Amino acid sequence: MKKFAIAPADYVEILNLYSAYNLSSDSGDAEWYASCFTEDGEQHGTYDVIGRAALIEYKKKDAGTRTHLYRRHWNGSIHLEQIDPTTIQGRCYLFGYNGDPGTLPHMTHAGVYTDTIKRVNGEWKFAYRRLVFDGVKQ
């Protein structure tokens, strides 16, 4: 299989996609969160959410369950491999934290994301995300 080199501009754009996903998820901005995905994008893990409308609804419900908390996500060891000119496979570690306002956050979960990222209309978007949590039997 032919290997493709990821252009530096694409690499930076994809790192910004990972950051936008975390920031929008933490802030509960459902529209911004869903914009990180393709129209038929999928999020899988302890929940399965498919399609833009379902992603928006999911994030609205999620944000509504933590109105008294703030949330922080960190991704580390982001590894990207270009499969073809419009497809990148990504993988990274996730560390998630929640906190009460005025206090430091505490770790709530850790895991690994495995992603398929597609270029759509000139922008990189998540087409498929699977989160496997550490410490949870799958």
Domain tally, the chain: 1
Cα 10 → chain centroid = 17
CA–CA dist 77, 117 (Å, integer) = 17
126 CB-contact burial (10 Å; exposed 0-12 / middle 13-18 / buried 19+): buried
113 domain-assigned = yes
2 domain-assigned = no
Contact present, 29 and 82 (Cβ < 8 Å): no
Q: What is the pLDDT of residue 87?
A: 97
119 domain-assigned = yes
1 domain-assigned = no
3 domain-assigned = no
Contact present, 74 and 95 (Cβ < 8 Å): yes
| pLDDT (tens digit per residue) in 65-96 | 888 999 999 999 999 999 999 999 999 999 99
pLDDT band at 2 (very low <50, low <70, confident <90, very high): low
83 domain-assigned = yes
CA–CA dist 120, 127 (Å, integer) = 10
Q: What percent of the chain has pLDDT over 90?
A: 88
* Bridge partners, 115 (sequence order): 90, 129
12 domain-assigned = yes
CATH number at residue 128: 3.10.450.50
| pLDDT (tens digit per residue) in 13-45 | 999 999 999 999 999 999 999 999 999 999 999
Mean pLDDT over residues 103-131, rounded? 97
In sequence order, the 6+-apart residues with CB closer than 8 A to the CB of 53 are none
pLDDT band at 130 (very low <50, low <70, confident <90, very high): very high
Residue 22 belongs to domain spanning: 8-133
Mean residue pLDDT of the chain comes to 94
138 domain-assigned = no
